[in-house]
Structure 1
């Protein structure tokens, strides 16, 4: 990784080693012509070192991730022993304000990268992030949350076949490391194409803050900073409670009927083939269908919705996993 011991010119600011600055990531103006600027918190050590980026809120309703980055700032974890730490707690500020996943133009920001300078609102934000911030970065931690009432077990998502990513995912120390393909036009895929290493953390569900999920995220961030020699000595680094489980293959268990749904299992549980995970009923007490595990595996996502339709994803279960 490059050394960041010289002036950092970013978002119109010139920031020298040892300085702290809150730069403005200019998104757009409201209909009232009121500007909307997303704060970008930049902390630089006098000692040269890597530049780490913490991001959250690419989806406006994923509050768990926002809370993790907020804690990193509030506790001073983002003040590095060496190098530079940049925090963007809320990228999709419009969605965050409106408690909505998408941008006002209806687009999913995480499907328009690398964006276009003269494109839609979401595309312009993506382009600005890629052109003005990412070139300065050596390593990215991007915090996400399960959507649509689906609760994710704390997990790091990476693509298969990269030993460096495997090693860094293990350093982070989430309970699960889930292998998933890079999605076209996502932030993660674009970072990979630009040669910027990135770990994507998922945990919890939208519009909800879960203490275990946020604690896992904060502790993982501290482990990564410690790994790069950037965590100050007044912060302790805890070991993960257990070795991460590598989920090499997984599948969704989908509803075969519509109705009222209730899970009877819990997140992170190792279940046996044929074990009852929940049941689907009707409002009239005439129907009761048991949802069973199609194979032995760990439950890494549970749908918390009380009403579901045929075909809805209910549980995410591992098929192939090891330590």
Structure 2
């Protein structure tokens, strides 16, 4: 990104080449009239180059992503040898404080983009982000996790048909790459409309920290920055595996309500007819074996002990992209 006179003007800060700063992303005031500001950590090299934004905590209960960005900062991965790196570890500070997914107005921030200057609280935050920060960046890495008690395998989500996104996903090298359509009013959709590439990482589950998930997120981010030529060789991370590209996947749902116990964890390849778990009742009358209806990788597993009929239990890949490897 080329800035006028080489100065990055963002969130009220004027940051020259080679400078670092902590800006404030002003969200709102509490009902006590206390100001709520989100720290934004910015490091610029003296040498020109791309600007990469790391975001997490759009959903306040998705703490794995917040931990990944925290580690990028603590390990000084966010200090580039060229270009600029911007870190926003917690966007939905209200949800993070209250350990909740949504904003205080009950809205999902990731369904409010590009937002409105005069709309709801979540809509105003989305508008502020899209107008004050996003126009300053070239690439975005956005971190998310699975929902309540549903553990996601580490994965990158991109839209099909974009060779640049495919290449970025291969470089990040999470175990899986899922082709998924851009959902209306999401952060990713709003940024893609501005032709700003978004690498969306999913891994783990809400309100839980997982060492392996954060390790994959940190290492993948480091590889991506190294690919852009932004890091010193000391930060180089070798490619651990080639990701599996998933063209289609399906949910396997509970036929009965009851107590649920899974047999396998995520990343496991299962065969059609294989027993994946059991649904029982407290009275010893029900013992239903949940079987795979087709072969594929488990990319999400429900870890809740109690399920109801129709609840999603397993997310299984049903069609993989053919490669020449």
Q: TM-score, with normalisation over the residues of structure 2?
A: 0.97
Shift of 1:234: 2.4
Q: What SS is found at the alignment partner of 1:234? A: helix
| Cα distance in 2 between the residues matched to 1:69 and 1:98 | 20
2:306 is the alignment partner of 1:307: yes
Match of 1:200 in 2: 200
Count of aligned pairs between the two proteins: 321
Equivalent residue number for residue 292 of structure 2: 293
Contact 1:3 1:83 in 2 (8 A): no
SS of 1:78's equivalent? coil
The match for 1:252 is 251
TM-superposed deviation, 1:99: 0.3
CA distance in 2: counterparts of 1:151 and 1:186, whole angstroms: 21
Partner of 2:266: 267
Distance 2:24 2:137 in 1: 17
CA separation in 1, counterparts of 2:26 and 2:178? 34
User: In the TM superposition, what are the counterparts of 1:15-164 in structure 2 within 5 Å?
Assistant: 15-164=15-164
Q: CA deviation at 1:259?
A: 0.7
Structure 1 moving runs of 4+ over 6 Å: none
Tell me the SS of whatever aligns to 2:250.
Answer: strand
Gaps spanning 5+ residues in structure 1: where? none
CA drift at 1:91: 0.2
Contact 2:223 2:236 in 1 (8 A): no
> How far 1:136 sits from its partner (Å)?
0.5
Partners of 2:22 and 2:182 lie apart in 1 by 31
Task: Give the conservation status (yes or no) of the 8 Å contact 2:57–2:90.
Answer: yes
Aligned alpha-carbon RMSD (Å): 0.9
Q: Is residue 65–residue 143 contact of structure 2 (8 Å, CA) maintained in 1?
A: yes
- Distance of 2:231 and 2:178 partners within structure 1: 26
SS of equivalent residue, structure 1 residue 195: coil
| 2-structure distance, mates of 1:121, 1:298 | 39
CA gap of 1:3–1:233, structure 2 versus 1, over 3 A, is farther
Query: CA deviation digits over 1:24-67, x for unaligned, max 9?
Result: 00001111111000000000000000000000000000000000
Give the Cα separation in 2 of the matches to 1:59 and 1:23.
21
Distance 1:264 1:19 in 2: 52
- Using the alignment, how far apart are the partners of 2:189 and 2:232 within structure 1? 31
Q: TM-score, normalised by structure 1?
A: 0.98
Unpaired runs of 5+ in structure 2? none
Q: Report deviation, 1:239.
A: 1.3
Q: Separation in 1 of the partners of 2:238 and 2:68?
A: 16
Give the conservation status (yes or no) of the 8 Å contact 2:226–2:236.
Answer: no
